[in-house]
Structure 1
């Protein structure tokens, strides 16, 4: 009797447990599935860079592939096409970019000086305007309306601070700051803000085409002069304030004493928010804030703490965004493309940036291999998505689906081409310059 009375409840319990764990019940628990997926994502953020460190692959390639598979095979009704979610696309890419800009600024060891930053001024003053003009011209020749072509040029001219970590300088005080890495890091930090006037120009011209409103004076005085100067000034003031509170306040309550690198995230949000309130370029302000905060005490160990937290947040946000980008590709983002568009994307990536890059570096006293590397690694990515989303949320442009498809193809090709070549090229460059890429201090964990 006792045995029988015990066995019956056990059988019932086992049956209930099996029913509870069955797939239909799990499918009805999106919260649990989301939590599990988030755990897997965070584990991949920490682990994949170690696996890919010496392979001709990059973290963005893996993320896009995972996103494409997830949205192709999993029973997910959401189609993450940017044109279907314009507000979310603009805000999420904006968040990812400003975090990346803070991280880029905190990495740079080189003290700011006009002559020592010569490679940066060349890439910003010559290469970027040439890229805008060449892309716009190619866009018109490809059949795009000239305003759409101008927007395309403005969005695709700047290099991306998010997807370029493998060609950027290393963490603070690691000594990984050769001319190539410094040039690409400083260019990515500053050109996102300096490309914005041309995005605004496309928006103003689009509005003027419908209402005839004068645009030139407003663009020069407000979008160019005020927003750049106020962005630089606002970023510097916030950086000075945080530098004093973090390292120099005359008490034991210095922010550096907390050991909490989240201070960098706070500085990012405050810098961006305050400069946007006064209608200045927040991207530019965040990078200037980072440089100023880095300069406040260059040798303090807390600089590395701030950088590490920023990098972790950046990589996690980047992976989420690229999973969605892969999902958008699987959902038909590239469907409007024609063969002309494919040729345009290849020309932007393989012709425009290398030619404009080499033109900007004429006369610069560095090795020819370094010039070729600087010119080649004009990585396009999250910043371009933000600019297109911002412009389309503020004006009515023609051929929106085709525009998104071209931008997405350029980004995809950039991730593939640059991601597959960055490891061998940068390791070869290190060897040519007498550095051992496998040395303990040179093993980086980047995206």
Structure 2
């Protein structure tokens, strides 16, 4: 692909990215679907048919492009959440749907996909576990249609307090990208170090506990420091909130992520925690909205490029090693494993508990369980693991992941608008019924 052709593709893609969210908001057709389709079309047009966008041929570019997109998205997600996470029982209970999805549903998803990968696809144990770990996290990048829109900076009601579905899916996407990493490392250890008995103690103490603790600590301190500088610095030069300078969010994202990775923690987790801690300072200040808007725009640009590249790669042979067994695993994850495990994890909840906290009713529980969007995170984990070690059946893994992402983009993209309308209509019915005269 020539430079001029690349400029054309990116320019058209940018126009689509700007126009599609508004054009498609009333239809069961999402912007990610349109962008992937555009990439597929680009891949077969004569000026671009010689372009090579295979992640197998460009593993480092694939890994770092997905990595950057994820950390930007995690900062945006953390800033968007109105519901605080504080050291109180009430606050932790308000996040209980998130904890259930992380602690119960995600490990069950990993186990279910890994089992099918080993049993149905005949993958070696390390490859099967990597497939499960890579496909486990829901995506904070492609799930915008079912997530909270942005921070509420006015006093009073918060949007996500009355939409537990959007809150649960947003907060889950913010945390499970980091918490899937220990299981990716379990697959790497299984390939490199042999039987589980040889490395389980190190994995448990360091990968699962130590790096999580470091990520939380660095993120908390980093978010506090960013907020302290932005809102309360003694020097007017550094009170970025007064200046309305949005680049603090990007600077903080990169600095916190880089520092955490340098000291050995999980950088994804640190970025999300830093965003939450930054948002906690002067929670209702309009500056949070300014930062979120800038991050959202940058995330949109990066997502555009990755989705176009994914579409081109799909048309360039990424699905060339897809077997019917791999397709079956992807279908099972989207339609069975994720919905069932999340449904079980969320459990039966009253709509308002004794403490007055909002909960997921039956309809909300169903929608939350179904919308486990797979996307950029899965691309990153496969690219990262294959860069760290040699795992058999790399082509099959890429084809299966690519198919699953494509399936998720189509199915969840088509279902998002009708599902959200269904929930909104169901919420309005009791109010209308109450106002009708008897």
- Quick check: 2:226–2:252 contact (8 Å CA) kept in 1? yes
Q: Which of these residues, 317, 321, 338, is aligned with residue 353 of structure 1?
A: 338
Q: Spell out the pairing of 1:24-423 with structure 2 (5 A cutoff).
A: 30-76=2-48, 77-112=50-85, 113-142=91-120, 143-173=122-152, 175-177=158-160, 178-209=163-194, 214-253=198-237, 254-365=239-350, 366-423=360-417
Secondary structure of 2:32's partner?
Answer: helix
Secondary structure of 1:50's partner?
Answer: helix
Note the C-alpha offset of 1:171: 1.1
- Quick check: 2:348–2:362 contact (8 Å CA) kept in 1? no
The root-mean-square deviation of aligned C-alpha atoms, in Å, is 1.7
Secondary structure of 2:428's partner?
Answer: coil
- Quick check: 1:357–1:375 contact (8 Å CA) kept in 2? yes
TM-score (norm. length: structure 2): 0.90
Note the C-alpha offset of 1:335: 1.4
Bigger Cα Rg: 1
Q: Write the distance in 1 (CA, Å) between the matches of 2:323 and 2:187.
A: 24
Secondary structure of 1:280's partner?
Answer: coil
- Quick check: 2:117–2:131 contact (8 Å CA) kept in 1? yes
Secondary structure of 1:84's partner?
Answer: coil
TM-score (norm. length: structure 1): 0.88
Gaps of 5+ in 2: 86-90, 351-359, 430-438
- Quick check: 2:14–2:304 contact (8 Å CA) kept in 1? no
Q: Write the distance in 2 (CA, Å) between the matches of 1:361 and 1:74.
A: 50
Note the C-alpha offset of 1:42: 2.5
* Number of aligned residue pairs: 406
- Quick check: 2:81–2:148 contact (8 Å CA) kept in 1? yes
- Quick check: 1:256–1:302 contact (8 Å CA) kept in 2? yes
Q: Write the distance in 2 (CA, Å) between the matches of 1:75 and 1:32.
A: 10
Gaps of 5+ in 1: 1-26, 436-447
Note the C-alpha offset of 1:32: 4.4
Q: Write the distance in 2 (CA, Å) between the matches of 1:201 and 1:31.
A: 41
Structure 1 residue 432 and structure 2 residue 426: aligned? Answer: yes
Q: Write the distance in 1 (CA, Å) between the matches of 2:397 and 2:6.
A: 32
Q: Write the distance in 2 (CA, Å) between the matches of 1:323 and 1:138.
A: 30
Q: 1:199 to 1:310 in 2, by over 3 A?
A: same
- Quick check: 1:119–1:364 contact (8 Å CA) kept in 2? no
Note the C-alpha offset of 1:133: 0.8
Note the C-alpha offset of 1:354: 0.6
Secondary structure of 1:425's partner?
Answer: helix
Of 196-205 and 75-84, the range deviating more from structure 2? 75-84
Q: Write the distance in 1 (CA, Å) between the matches of 2:57 and 2:244.
A: 42
Q: Write the distance in 1 (CA, Å) between the matches of 2:27 and 2:176.
A: 29
Note the C-alpha offset of 1:166: 0.8
Secondary structure of 1:364's partner?
Answer: coil
